[in-house]
Amino acid sequence: MTQGDGVTGGAAGGEARPRPPGALPVDDEHAPLYSVGQVAAMLRLRQAFLRRLDEYEVVRPSRTGGGQRRYSRVEISRVRYVVELVDEGMTLTAIRRVLELERRVQEMEARLREADARHARDRRRIHELESALRGGRPRPPGPYR
């Protein structure tokens, strides 16, 4: 996102991200393009419901310099998900907690993938070093470490 576009990043959806050179805002699923009225019309919701989602910090859209809410496609998808949870009887407080826990699970999964990749690199390096110590001879039979 460029500095002069007058939109600040939302808290729950992550910070605004820079666009690659030549990319249009409509190409960026994180670009805050849609007003409360547009999102309400798209999803057949009341604008007050969208404002309540912001109040309860369930979906926090970006704001223009004048304070108007602007939603990205990612945030619109999140609103759809929230509507499903509300329809199942969940409160906004509970939904906020669910979303926070889902975010934390995603972070932990990413950390686990990174640790798995480091572990695989370390195992390869150990194998290379053991092979070099044996002068390139194959490893003797026995349990793997």
Q: pLDDT of 98-128, one tens digit each?
A: 999 999 999 999 999 999 999 999 999 998 8
DSSP 4: G
The predicted model gives 22-40 an average pLDDT of 84
By C-alpha distance, which of 22, 39, 108, 110 is closest to 73? 39
- Tell me the CATH number for domain 3-88: 1.10.1660.10
d(CA 112, CA 136): 33
pTM of the model: 0.66
The pLDDT of residue 19 is: 59
d(CA 79, CA 42): 11
Domain extents in the chain: 3-88
Residue 51 has pLDDT above 90, yes or no: yes
- For 69, phi and psi rounded to 5 degrees? -75, 140
